Structures are given as structure tokens and as C-alpha cells.
């Protein structure tokens, strides 16, 4: 509080205080002064935090209870009116703070619920949760060894292990944990440009020729977003269709005076869960001297499975890879890694030699001051969740977890592929846990007018999804794709899901859509 002049007066039975000329009632001190670092604040702090933990533990147990709702849905205007979410000048009491905690969780989505399938990141791991609590308690920054010694070492150890799993010799290379796969992909594009034209760091895009990047048509939107952010431009990202020849298109662009500098192959596309042919793409990149990046944000974790890692054959030939453990490995959000084959490139590309952080005469090995190779200055500790879960499960534990999710997706596919009222969006068994399908209600199955049928079918998935949320029974995503009308995209990454939950989903879709 600095050095305020404090005095007390009695007014209508309430104690008030003067702080720098302002009047504050005793509630202010119940919040600010009763807890640590207040003198004798130990017991009150323990009591407060114990109550918070009790709220959290009750929520966790409820989240895994199938009889509870996945979501207590309210429309935004309703939710704004149900609670006072506004910020005020006057502080609240600790009891008010606890009420806010309960209200927040009451209306939150139970992403740990076994019947929550809405996103690629689902589930809640108890060891990962404990690690997240510890990380917040430590409350430090990842930019230097001096302020995060253990976390920096754990990041070093874990990234090396991940590079070994990719197949890079002795785990050599570099890497960093970033705020999500989109940023990891942008890092890769940044490095590819710097590798080919290092002068761009100081002189900008005017110093380099017209660059083009290549990716598949079903790649993540972050590839174009990265090109926009780096000044390369979205028009310079060429999206190649599945039936087109990469080598012909790249050769054509070279002959027209463009300089290909970056190819992003996708290991597990967001919607279909498809894997690009990495070996063939790596041959093309080698022929033309182009940086090969693998966006394995969704499918990269299949490298942990001896049964499924063949889908990423050729990844060891890539220059970089994005891998999001917060998806298929169920590490609490967020946890995304960029792995780079060339050691030292990130440092030379991004370093700015800030002397107030990265002094060159420190008394330890400066290679552990990793902050200068990052675009960020402040960087959250994302490593401890993954490292502690890896210690708890071992590689074989992650493998079993991933294999189970893929087994569940195959079960769903086999159950609905020939079931009346269902049509698969694409032929063949899915490569990942993405199962894409249309549900045709009884009243739509025999409509002969194809245009009318598609028009009505387009409205089915959104309507069923809205009913799912209003009943709170389950959640699964939907979307259109190209010329295809809205379809369900079922993804399974939740370790709590079972065969019974898949059965429930099918029955619930049919129950909610039977009258459409």
C-alpha cells in the first residue's frame, strides 16, 4: 500500500479508512489486507484457498459424472443479466469472490465431461491439472535460466525427447513452446524466410523477391494468417488440391519468377483428420531447396503410438514440426511445441540482445537463457504440465491413451457407415479420430429433389447442435466444407470417453433430429 496515512472514523456503525485522500470501507481490507502477504495472514489465506479448492474439486467430480449436463446454456444477453459481471471501483469481500468463482464454473463448459466432443482439445488430466496449479504458484517467466531454472531445464529435456521421437539424430535441433499451433506455424514460416533470405530481418520484405508458400487446401487457416502477419500476404499462399501434383505447381511458380520458400504439409487436418504424403512432399522440397514444415498440431501425437506413427512416415525429413500435446495427449491448455531441426537458427533469426535480460557476463551457461530466440518477451510456463504427465504415464501410457481414442473413432465409423439415416462425408476409414457424417432425419431420407434435399440437410446439423446445447447432454461440432453442406465432425481426444458414450451420441442425435 505504499505509505498511506490511515485513520479511522465511525459512521453509521461502519469502519472507514482514509487512503491517499479516499474513503474506503472495511471490505477493502478484508480482501487486500487479510490475505498474504499481510502480517498474520497465513490462516486466513489457507482458509480462503481451501474454499477455492473445495469449489474446484466439486466441479471436477461433477465434470466426470455422466448424469450432469455438459453445459448449462444461456444466450449471451441472458447470461449477462443473471449475474453482475461488471467491474467496480469498490472492492468485494472474500465471500463475494467465492460466489464469483462458483458462478463462473456453473456456466462454464465441462470440457472434461466424457460426452464433450466439440473441440480437438478435450478432457482433464489430474496430474496435468496439479502441474498447472504448481505452475501458477511458481508464477515465473521462461525467458532466462536465472528466473526459471527448473522449468528451462525441463523444456530442454522434453524438446530433445520430442525431437528423438520425430527421428532427428540424437534429438539434435532446437524448439520452443509457444501460445498455440498457429504461433508455432508462424514461427516455422519466419524461420524459413530467414534461412533463405537472412537480410530480411533488418531490411524487410523490400529486400527479397516475390515469395510463395505452398500448403494443402485443407490445411489450417493459420498458414495464411502467418503469411499476412509476416507481410508475405495471403495471396502468396498457394493451396494445392488433393488431386493436384505439387511438383508441377511449384515448378510452374518458379518459371513465373516466384521464389518458393516454404511448404507446410499437414499431419492431421482439422476437419477430415487427413495426412499429407510427407515422403513425396519431402522429395519435392529437397529437389527445389524449399523449407519443409509439418503442421502436426492435431496428428503429431500419433508419433507416440507404434500402431499409428506410420501415418507420419517422412516427418524425420522435415525442417520443422508443430506438435500440440494439448490435443491428442490431453495436456491442459495450452501446450504447443515448435520443433526445429537446425540448432541455433531460432536464436539468430529472433535475437535482439536486450542487455537488461541477456547479459553476456552471467556466471552460468548462457545457452539456457532461451528468451532471445522467442518472439515474445514474457513467456508462460507451459512445459511442466507435459513433463509431469509424461513422468506419470510414461511413453506407453500416452500410447495407450491415443490408441484408445482411435479405437473409439473406428467403432463410431463402423457403427454408422451402413446405419439407416447416416451418410459418410468421404469414402474409407478415417485416418485420425475425425468421423465426418450427415444425419438424415426420417422426413428427409426420401426427398427426390436434390437441391431441396441439400437445402434442408444444411439446416439439420445446426438445429441438432442447438438442441444438444439447450438440453446440455453432449456437444459435437459441425461445419460445411467446400461445396458440402453442414455435416457433423466428430473428434475423439477425451480419455474419459467410452464405447457407451459413442452409443449415447448416436442415440441422442437421432432423438433430437427425428422430427426435422
Which of 409, 440, 411 lies closest to 423 in space, CA to CA? 440
Contact indicator for 299, 262 with CB cutoff of 8 Å: no
Q: Determine the Cα–Cα distance for residues 234 and 251; give it in Å rounded to an integer.
A: 20
What does each C-alpha distance from 493 to 119, 216, 301, 308, 508 come to in angstroms? 9, 24, 11, 15, 20
- Grid cell 524425420 is found at 316
Please check whether residue 322 lies inside any domain of the structure.
yes
Query: 482 CB contacts (<8 Å, ≥6 apart)?
Result: none
Please check whether residue 136 lies inside any domain of the structure.
no
Please check whether residue 164 lies inside any domain of the structure.
yes
List phi, psi (to 5°) of 405.
Answer: -60, -40
Please check whether residue 112 lies inside any domain of the structure.
no
Q: What is the pLDDT of residue 481?
A: 94
Query: 218 CB contacts (<8 Å, ≥6 apart)?
Result: 242, 266, 269, 270, 271, 272, 274
Q: What is the pLDDT of residue 109?
A: 97
List phi, psi (to 5°) of 303.
Answer: -60, -20
Give the count of domains, the chain: 1
Please check whether residue 165 lies inside any domain of the structure.
yes
Cβ burial of 273 (10 Å; 0-12, 13-18, 19+) is: buried
Contact indicator for 82, 48 with CB cutoff of 8 Å: no
Burial string for 336-372 (b: 16+ CB within 10 Å, else e) reads bbbbbbeeebbeebbeeeeeebbeeeeeeeeebbbbb
Please check whether residue 242 lies inside any domain of the structure.
yes
Cβ burial of 289 (10 Å; 0-12, 13-18, 19+) is: exposed
Please check whether residue 449 lies inside any domain of the structure.
no
CATH number for the domain spanning 295: value is: 3.40.640.10
Name the residue range of residue 149's domain. Answer: 141-380
pLDDT averaged per 10 residues, the chain (length 516): 39 46 52 81 94 98 98 96 91 92 97 98 98 98 96 98 98 98 98 98 96 95 97 96 76 84 97 96 95 98 98 98 98 98 98 94 94 95 98 98 98 98 95 98 95 97 98 98 97 98 98 96
Please check whether residue 113 lies inside any domain of the structure.
no
Amino acid at each position: 500500500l505504499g505509505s498511506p496515512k490511515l485513520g479511522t472514523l465511525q459512521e453509521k456503525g461502519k469502519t472507514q479508512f482514509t487512503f491517499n485522500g479516499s474513503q474506503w470501507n472495511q471490505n477493502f481490507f478484508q480482501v487486500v489486507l487479510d490475505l498474504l502477504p499481510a502480517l498474520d495472514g497465513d490462516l486466513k489465506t489457507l482458509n480462503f484457498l481451501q474454499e477455492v479448492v473445495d469449489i474446484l474439486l466439486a466441479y471436477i467430480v461433477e465434470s466426470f459424472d455422466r448424469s450432469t449436463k455438459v453445459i448449462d446454456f444461456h444466450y449471451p444477453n441472458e447470461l449477462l443479466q443473471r449475474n453482475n459481471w461488471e467491474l467496480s471501483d469498490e472492492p468485494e469481500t472474500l465471500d463475494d469472490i467465492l460466489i464469483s468463482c462458483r458462478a463462473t464454473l456453473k456456466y462454464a463448459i465441462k470440457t472434461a465431461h466424457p460426452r464433450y466432443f466439440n473441440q480437438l482439445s478435450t478432457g482433464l488430466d489430474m496430474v496435468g491439472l496439479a502441474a498447472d496449479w504448481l505452475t501458477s504458484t511458481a508464477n515465473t517467466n521462461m525467458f532466462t535460466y536465472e528466473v526459471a531454472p527448473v522449468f528451462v531445464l525441463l523444456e530442454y529435456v522434453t524438446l530433445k525427447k520430442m525431437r528423438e521421437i520425430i527421428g532427428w539424430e540424437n534429438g539434435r535441433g532446437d524448439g520452443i513452446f509457444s501460445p498455440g499451433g498457429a504461433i508455432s506455424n508462424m514461427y516455422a514460416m519466419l524461420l524459413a524466410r530467414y534461412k533463405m533470405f537472412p537480410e530480411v530481418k533488418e531490411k524487410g520484405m523490400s529486400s527479397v523477391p516475390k515469395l510463395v508458400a505452398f500448403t494443402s487446401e485443407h490445411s489450417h487457416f493459420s498458414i495464411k494468417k502467418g503469411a499476412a502477419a509476416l507481410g508475405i500476404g495471403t495471396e502468396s499462399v498457394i493451396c494445392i488440391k488433393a488431386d493436384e501434383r505439387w511438383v508441377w505447381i511449384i515448378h510452374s511458380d518458379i518459371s513465373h519468377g516466384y521464389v518458393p520458400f516454404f511448404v507446410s504439409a499437414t499431419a492431421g487436418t482439422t476437419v477430415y483428420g487427413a495426412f499429407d504424403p510427407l515422403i513425396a512432399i519431402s522429395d519435392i522440397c529437397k529437389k527445389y531447396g524449399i523449407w519443409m514444415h509439418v503442421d502436426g498440431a492435431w496428428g503429431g501425437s500419433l508419433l507416440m503410438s507404434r500402431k499409428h506413427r506410420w501415418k507420419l512416415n517422412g516427418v524425420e525429413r522435415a525442417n520443422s514440426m508443430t506438435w500440440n500435446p494439448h490435443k491428442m495427449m490431453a495436456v491442459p491448455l495450452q501446450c504447443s511445441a515448435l520443433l526445429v531441426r537446425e540448432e541455433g537458427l531460432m536464436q539468430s533469426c529472433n535475437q535482439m540482445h536486450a542487455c537488461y535480460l541477456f547479459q553476456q557476463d552471467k556466471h552460468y551457461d548462457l545457452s539456457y537463457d532461451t528468451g532471445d530466440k522467442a518472439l515474445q518477451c514474457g513467456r508462460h510456463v507451459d512445459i511442466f504440465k507435459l513433463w509431469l504427465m509424461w513422468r506419470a504415464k510414461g511413453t506407453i501410457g500416452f500410447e495407450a491413451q491415443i490408441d484408445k481414442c482411435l479405437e473409439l473413432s473406428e467403432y463410431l465409423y463402423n457403427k454408422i457407415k451402413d446405419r439407416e439415416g447416416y451418410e459418410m462425408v468421404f469414402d474409407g476409414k478415417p485416418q485420425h479420430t475425425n468421423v465426418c457424417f450427415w444425419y438424415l432425419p426420417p422426413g428427409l431420407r426420401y426427398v427426390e429433389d436434390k437441391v431441396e434435399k441439400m437445402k434442408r440437410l444444411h439446416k439439420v446439423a445446426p438445429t441438432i447442435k442447438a438442441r444438444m446445447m439447450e438440453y446440455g447432454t453432449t456437444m459435437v461440432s459441425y461445419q460445411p466444407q467446400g461445396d458440402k453442406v453442414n455435416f457433423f465432425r466428430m473428434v475423439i481426444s477425451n480419455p474419459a470417453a467410452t464405447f457407451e458414450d459413442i452409443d449415447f451420441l448416436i442415440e441422442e442425435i437421432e432423438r433430437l433430429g427425428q422430427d426435422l
